[in-house]
Amino acid sequence: MHRELVGLSSMATRPILAELSEHLRTAHGTPVRFDAAGGVEIARRVREGAEADLLVLAAGALTALEQEGHLLPGTVRPLWISQVVAAVPDGTPPPALDSVEDLRAALTAARSIAFSTGPSGTALVDLLRRLGLAGTLAGRLVQTPPGVPAGGLLSSGRADLAFQQHSELMDLPGVTVLGPLPGDTALTSVFGAGVLATTTAPERALAALGLLASDEASRLAAARGMTPADPGRRG
């Protein structure tokens, strides 16, 4: 019997990969297990020579690791697009988010704003600069440690507005997701996958990668708030 394949991933794709791993095991006889942590932590592990077969990360981090030789050449492919959404604690009157002015009002009214590390956090900080609010909100921004969902600060009362990938907020208790950001303030991240250079089973890892990029996997990902990165695939 083949050994179980091991994948590394960021927290944003953890819920999707948990479901896909079970699907690959039962429907395709391909045992795969993904270990998830913050994207920065996962990239550090890869650079330090972590032994695994597959890697799922945001496109920018994946490209950097490929260029550094940590992934088998030609194996990187885009998988899913994820939107950053806003959320508030359950029971809080939800602010409108129909326009950029609505977003400005929600941001300036918030006493504490939680956001994550990784691509969504970087994009949010850039957005605040673009809106001219970076200085105004500097003392109200709370960045969570790697791997810790920003929504956790909502349920604990440490923040009254949070921004993170939809997949990481949608099932958290005590959290109400407001939806994606309006108009040209919308923030998206592309997540992709590749085969790690440390794999001892490259052919099996490539086959599993193909299953992760399939239409079947895309439909499962859609239920977790992500859409296919390839416009030719319909979730």
Q: What is the pLDDT of residue 135?
A: 94
Digit-coded pLDDT (tens) for 150-206: 888 998 899 999 999 888 888 889 999 999 999 999 999 899 999 999 999 999 999
Does the domain made of 5-81+189-228 have the CATH classification 3.40.190.10?
yes
Locate 69 and state its tokens: 């030789």
Task: Give the separation between CA 106 and CA 94, rounded to whole angstroms.
Answer: 9
Q: What's the rounded mean pLDDT across residues 43-54?
A: 97
Digit-coded pLDDT (tens) for 130-164: 999 999 999 999 998 877 888 889 988 999 999 99
Looking at the chain, the domain(s) classified CATH 3.40.190.10 span 5-81+189-228, 82-185
Digit-coded pLDDT (tens) for 106-133: 999 999 999 988 778 888 999 999 999 9
Mean model confidence pLDDT for the chain: 91
Instruction: State pTM to two decimals.
Output: 0.82
Q: Name the CATH code of domain 82-185 (choices 3.30.70.20, 3.40.190.10, 3.40.50.720, 3.10.150.10).
A: 3.40.190.10
CA angle (47 as vertex; 8, 23 as ends), nearest 5: 10
Q: Is 213's pLDDT higher than 50?
A: yes
Q: Is 233's pLDDT higher than 80?
A: no
| DSSP sequence for 19-76 | HHHHHHHHHH---EEEEEE-HHHHHHHHHTT---SEEEEEHHHHHHHHHTT-B-TT--
Per-residue pLDDT band at 235 (split at 50, 70, 90): very low
Per-residue pLDDT band at 222 (split at 50, 70, 90): confident
Q: What is the pLDDT of residue 12?
A: 84
What contacts 24+ positions apart, CB below 8 Å, involve 19-24?
19/220, 19/224, 20/211, 20/212, 20/217, 20/220, 20/221, 23/216, 23/217, 23/220, 24/208, 24/211
Q: For 38-72, b where at least 16 C-beta lie within 10 A, e where not — what string?
A: bbebbbeebeeebebbbbbbbbebbeebbeeebbb
Digit-coded pLDDT (tens) for 82-96: 899 999 999 999 999
Kindly report the backbone phi and psi dihedral angles of residue 188, in degrees, each rounded to the nearest multiple of 5, phi listed first. Answer: -130, 155
Q: What's the rounded mean pLDDT across residues 64-82?
A: 95
Q: Is 211's pLDDT higher than 50?
A: yes
Q: What is the pLDDT of residue 1?
A: 55
